[in-house]
Amino acid sequence: MSFPLIGDKAPEFEAKTTQGVVNFPKDYEGKWIVLFSHPADFTPVCTTEFMAFQQRKEQFDELNAQLIGLSIDQVFSHIKWIDWIKENFDLDIEFPIIADHGQVASLYGMIHPNKESNTVRAVFIIDPTGTIRAILYYPQELGRNMDEILRMIRAFQIADEKKVAMPANWPNNETFGDRVIVPPASDVETARKRLKQKGIKCYDWWLCTKELK
C-alpha cells in the first residue's frame, strides 16, 4: 500500500458523487479541501461524523474550505443514508459524497489490509494550490474531532499569511495562550536584534513569540 505524502500534489481523479461527477481537485481550485473517507454508510460512528461535519459546515465555508466524503458504497446507498439522516435528525448533508469503487481509496491509501476491505477514517487537508498539507488516519472504532480539523485549517491559513508557526494546543496553549511562534533567526545579527524587538517576547534566540495583529 502507498499513499501521497505531505507536500505532494493531491492525486487527480474523476468520480461520481451525490452531487454529480467531480474532477478532483480541479473542480475545487482556489479552495481548501477536506477529503475524508468513512468505513461504510448506515453505520453508527460514521453517521455521527457526517452530522458533526454538517453542523460545522458554515465554519468550513467561512474558511473557504470544501468538505467531500468518500466510501466504497454505491451512490444510491449514499443518497438513502443522507435521506435517513434528514428523516431522523432533520439535518441536510449538503456536501458531496464520493461513490468509490476502490480507485480513489487506492490512490490515497485509504484501505488498510488488517481492517478488511472498508476504507479507514482518513482525512486529507489540501490547500488552494492542490498541495496536501496534512494527513490524519483514525481507526474504525474512533470518531474524528471536527474542531481539530477546523483548527488546523485556521492555523495553516495564518501560518501562510504571517509566516509564523503555532505552539501546541494553539490558540489555547497553557503557557503562551494564543500567541504565535516567530521562526528562529538564521543569523547572529537577526537573533540579537530580535531579543530587543518590540512586540516580540523571546525566551532565547530560538524561541520567540508574538501576538497576532
Q: In this structure, what CATH number is given to the domain that contains residue 81?
A: 3.40.30.10
Q: What is the pLDDT of residues 22-65, one digit of tens each?
A: 999 999 999 999 999 999 999 999 999 999 999 999 999 999 99
Query: Which residues pair with residue 70 across a beta bridge?
Result: 37, 98
**Could you give the angle at which helices 75-89 and 44-55 cross, rounded to 10 degrees?**
70
**Residue 153, domain member (yes or no):** no
What percent of the chain is modeled with pLDDT above 90? 80
Active-site residue flag, 208: no
Helix (H), strand (E) at residue 20: strand 20-24
How many whole angstroms separate alpha carbon 84 and alpha carbon 13? 29
Report the relative pairing of strands 200-204 and 180-182 from DSSP bridges: unpaired
**Residue 212, domain member (yes or no):** yes
Same domain, 64 and 108: yes
Q: For 140-168, what is the mean pLDDT? A: 96
**Residue 58, domain member (yes or no):** yes
How many whole angstroms separate alpha carbon 121 and alpha carbon 111? 9
The residue whose grid cell reads 434528514 is 86
One-letter amino acid for residue 166 of the chain: M
Same domain, 44 and 124: yes
Same domain, 85 and 48: yes
**Residue 59, domain member (yes or no):** yes
Same domain, 100 and 55: yes
- At residue 114, the pLDDT reads 64
**Residue 7, domain member (yes or no):** no
Number of domains in the chain: 2
Q: How many CA atoms lie within 13 A of 107 on its CB side?
A: 18
- Residue 140 above 60 pLDDT? yes
- At residue 115, the pLDDT reads 55
**Residue 139, domain member (yes or no):** yes
Same domain, 125 and 67: yes
Same domain, 139 and 169: no
Catalytic residue among 46, 82, 97, 180: 46
Same domain, 104 and 171: no
Query: Which residues pair with residue 173 across a beta bridge?
Result: 177
Among residues 194, 159, 196, the alpha carbon closest in space to that of 180 is found at 159
**Residue 54, domain member (yes or no):** yes
Q: In this structure, what CATH number is given to the domain that contains residue 200?
A: 3.30.1020.10
76 band by pLDDT with thresholds 50, 70 and 90: very high
Q: For 137-144, what is the mean pLDDT? A: 91
Same domain, 81 and 115: yes
Question: What is the domain range of residue 190?
Answer: 163-213
Same domain, 167 and 125: no
**Residue 149, domain member (yes or no):** no
Same domain, 73 and 129: yes
